[in-house]
Chains A and B, each alone.
Chain A
Amino acid sequence: MFNFLQKLYYGARVYLNKGGGQSETVEIAGKSTVIISGGEGEPFVYLHSALGESMMWFPFFAGFANKFRVIAPTHPGFGKSGGFDDVADIEDMAFHYIEMFDALGLEQIHLGGVSLGGWIAAEIAVRWPERVKKLWIADAPGVWVDGTPLGDLFRLMQNREKLRELLFFDPHGAMASLVIKDQPDEQMMLYAYQAMTVLARMVWQRPYDPKLARRLHRIACPTLLLWGDHDKLVPPAYGEEYKKHIRGAEMRLIKDCGHLPMFEAESEFVEAISAFCSA
């Protein structure tokens, strides 16, 4: 019964939030880019994971929008954003976003992301450290830790149950089946295939950037590393590896949480990041 209520509760909040974000399409160096935004205050750019969660104004966005001007773009190739042919690797993603910041007139921003998005945020911060006021990275790949292999998303992608086990602390919880639906509609399946295709282009050959670790020392701003303590796809050792290379970075584990803290530990996720960026 509790599960049902929780599901209904979250579902209802998602529903109520539908009108919450303002969605627009902006042309960034020839790539049409969908951006969802809301709230007022200092600019806060959220870079999404391979789930493509920025296609909807989820409750965690509303949480951030209480304090910040949230800007959540959809990556090239995901959902209705174009430009897949123009991104060959993670560096192209970083360049895409610095051009977006320029186009939107964003001088200095709070920047962060989950998983793929966190990695892109790191790639931006090492190249243009002066543009980032605060950096947060959650459950992100990008570096390599010997002896701690990453989970294989591509092996399990057709098996929903195993996928939930890989991504969630509680694979049987309501949230796991809300995010990984048993019967997704055709549009969702198409978006998921597109998303996995972009991800494959970024990580297939090598699921990290061999140059990133030796560039991380360039990051000049306060940095928060936030990880689900049960992340099986990108284990917390990856957060520790980031910490090793980023001066003064703070590593924080979220208890009983998997790879997707914005869903599985929404309030802790929002509070930790909001407090860090406001401090």
Chain B
Amino acid sequence: MNTISAIEFSGISKSFAGVPVLRGISFKLGAGRTLGLVGENGAGKSTLMNILGGNLLPDTGGMVLGGTPYTPQDPTDAARAGVAFIHQELNLFANLSIAENLFLAALPRMGSMPWIDRRALHDRTATLLGQVGLAIAPETLVEQLSAGERQLVEIARALALEARLIILDEPTTSLSVRETETLFSLLRRLQARGIALIYISHLLEHVRQLCHDLVVLRDGEVVAQGPIEAYDTPAIISAMVGRSLTRLYPERRGASTTVPLLEVRSLTQLHIVRDISFTVHRGEVLGIFGLMGAGRSELARILFGLDSAQYGEVRMREKVINRREGPRERMERGLAFLTEDRRHEGLCLEASIADNLALVSLREHARTPLRLLDRNTWQQAISTIRAAVRLTAKVSDAQSVQTLSGGNQQKVILGKWLLAKPEVLILDEPTRGVDVGARFELYQLILDLADRGAGVLMISSEIEELTGLCDRILVMSQGEIRGNFPRTEFSRERLLVAALPREAHA
């Protein structure tokens, strides 16, 4: 083989708003080889691949693709250079045929006529579908295909662009065992053709089956690399987890009781979550750990009445919540939900801080016979809560929340829910994109709430944060609860092992 690498990264660094996400990443991948790229959520895998795919520009450092310097400005540049990025969320047009999807930007024409040369389109597509082993007519609409078939169409599209390097991000998440096998045998054929692959997955068995080389990222740095044979699964996990970072967590003053607040029994929604049972007690901070796509946010949405569940029962303070009750009824029962999508679901971005804070408790301030707002009590409540959540004093109540930092925005959302005096607060990734200082204050607010007798259900992808705060941690994977760890049994390794998806036995 020649000595030219398929891709070589040297000293790639990238920061977002001053927070370094990648720090001096350097490694190379030989032509025709497959690289497994692993790391915890937030380790920097996506950022690195977005740089490779032309979606982001690096702050420093460079790339060499097949021996020539490579500086993509946008995804089109990357495609032209032969780099195809197959995202976890597929980029296909469900309303078009397979053939149209493959050649959308360059549909073949009948000479100089405006019409599509259907025969040529059909033939070229059939050839590509043959290469990926998909025996389906080229004119079939993509919306009629299964998840696995769509994955193969994405790969055929990469081949249509004559890609030399294909990035696959968690390609097996929505595939059945059979479909996964089909995909793997295709990927092996691509390997044999000399196409380089970068394979991102949390499924370490898959990585071991398919890849030649391994790179482990942690906190934006390469912490392990080399041929895959040098690493067994425990070694990969310990590289991913690493030495635990010393981060400060506020001290817990109160303690969990055994009084049940929120009881969930056998909650099941087809294709989403299965047989979920747990209890949040008065004064308890219960964590839910899991990797992305484990079903944690979906569970939270079901509990808050945003999505439905087919089976199971949820009780709040020993009273059964009717399955049809929506967020408003559940709020009246004392539930509150801080969503993971702060900007779109948690805030009215253009509205003022005061309006956002008052949103869920407005009705309480409508006291006069005409149900008009009592401005005095309203203003008082807002001042009190601003002080309670330690919102920065530099901004006025009237300022719009989009001008605030992530940490302060999160404090506004938390303040909004605290005003409603919740019995059980569900938090979904409350510290995502929040800086270290503000995190500590958020942690303090969460613990204070528990100390006052409320129950907290905290979803997070960060193990440290959960082990630092929680009385107990549940681990979710593939829509199921795979572990229940009391504080005395917290261990990063055990939590991560429980969170890794298992190969389905179908």
A and B associate:
no
